[in-house]
Amino acid sequence: MPWRETRDPYAILVSEVMLQQTTVAAVRGYYDRFLAQFPTIADLANAKEDEVLSAWAGLGYYRRARNLQAAACAVMQRHAGVFPADFEEILMLPGVGRYTAGAVASSAFGQSRPIVEANSARVLARLFAVKESLKGGAGLKALWQYSAELLPDRNARDHNYALMELGSLVCTPKNPACTECPVLTYCEAHRLDLVAQIPRVEPKPEKIARAFAGAIVRHAENVLIRRIPAGEWHAGLYEFPKVEIEPWASESKGQDDLKNHISQVAGPVSKLERLSDIRFTVTVHSVTLRVFDMKVSRRRSPAPGYFWLPVSEIEKLPLGSPQKKVLNLLKSPPEWFEVEP
């Protein structure tokens, strides 16, 4: 992993933020590119937000990207551009919590600071037979306690990496390789035959079905786009216009709602093609996006928040994963249906 080959606290911070709730495989494709585009903390601090979001597009949890840039700005302002080595100062940076601060302090600066994240949490919970939920409260508090107690006075970097590696490769969520575990003889969960019950899994909230109808709206060589405002999903990114419809709405109802919306926002719809459905999830929502291809006959200046953009420039915008899929639909040539005025 490239982020283990450096001691640059900035590069390590970038990797740690990218890895929050994200798999190593997903981060691999972003880390090198991000650092090539923003090699130093000053480069990131001085970049435009859209550039940062574009570099992040597809990784998810986009607040991380904005917080990371805010952290870079904080280092420039509060620490004159020099990454702070003090744990408390690292912890004060935007988007940096207890785990990330500990990871940067131990792996960049070699300080003895404990970490608790998904892998080490599972290892510690089994090692000490923590039966409570690990999501918060007494269970989580115990994990931090154990992590601190196990921490050596030196080589904390290697120790913390090893803890994570053990959880990642041996002490896995399902079917852990206990026979290959180097600390099997210390494992309370194994001794009590509770490995399968620890860590405790909480019931997940039920998924909520939601549906949208969205359109690629064309006029000449331009396409209608909007920047997603704060408070909505994928805030800060860009998207094709859409309306929310009832998940059980009929095909024609959703189409009419969307057509009305487009005609208000951009101009009268003259031609239309039904493309396909894109399904994705946002936290507890499972979403269906019905995609249409539309043409407007007259082009008004669009409603606030919307703008026309040449088709060729869409890929430069920061797009979330669903919108990238919509963009893929655009590549097949349309088969238009005339629309009644």
| Contact residues: DNA, CB under 7 A | 1, 3-4, 15-16, 19-26, 58-63, 67, 94-101, 103, 117-119, 122, 136-137, 164, 167-168, 173-174, 201, 204-205, 207, 233-235, 280-284, 286, 320-322
24 versus 183: smaller Cβ distance to DNA: 24
β-pairing verdict for 337-338 and 208-219: unpaired
Q: Which of 16, 117, 206, 244 is catalytic?
A: 16
Minimum Å gap between C-beta 327 and DNA is 12
Closer residue to DNA (CB): 9 or 322: 322
Q: Which is nearer to DNA, 217 or 287 (CB)?
A: 287
For every residue of the chain, which 3-state class applies, written as one string?
Answer: CHHHCCCCHHHHHHHHHHCCCCCHHHHHHHHHHHHHHCCCHHHHHHCCHHHHHHHHCCCCCCHHHHHHHHHHHHHHHHCCCCCCCCHHHHHCCCCCCHHHHHHHHHHCCCCCCCCCCHHHHHHHHHHCCCCCCCCCHHHHHHHHHHHHHHCCCCCHHHHHHHHHHHHHHCCCCCCCCHHHCCCHHHCHHHHCCCCCCCCCCCCCCCCEEEEEEEEEEEECCEEEEEECCCCCCCCCCEECCEEEECCCCCHHHHHHHHHHHHHHHCCCEEEEEEEEEEEEEECCEEEEEEEEEEEECCCCCCCCCEEEEEHHHHHHCCECHHHHHHHHHCCCCCCCEECCC
**CA 33 to centroid of chain Cα atoms:** 16
Q: Which is nearer to DNA, 113 or 218 (CB)?
A: 113
Say which residues have a Cβ less than 8 Å from residue 175's Cβ, sequence separation at least 6: none
CB of 259 to DNA, least distance (A): 26
The nearest distance, CB 22 to DNA, in angstroms, is: 4
Minimum CB distance to DNA, residue 241 (Å): 17
Nearest distance from C-beta of residue 119 to DNA, angstroms: 4
16 among known catalytic residues: yes
**Least Å distance between CB 268 and DNA?**
32
Q: Which is nearer to DNA, 1 or 192 (CB)?
A: 1
Of 113 and 219, which CB lies nearer to DNA in the complex structure? 113
Known catalytic residues?
16
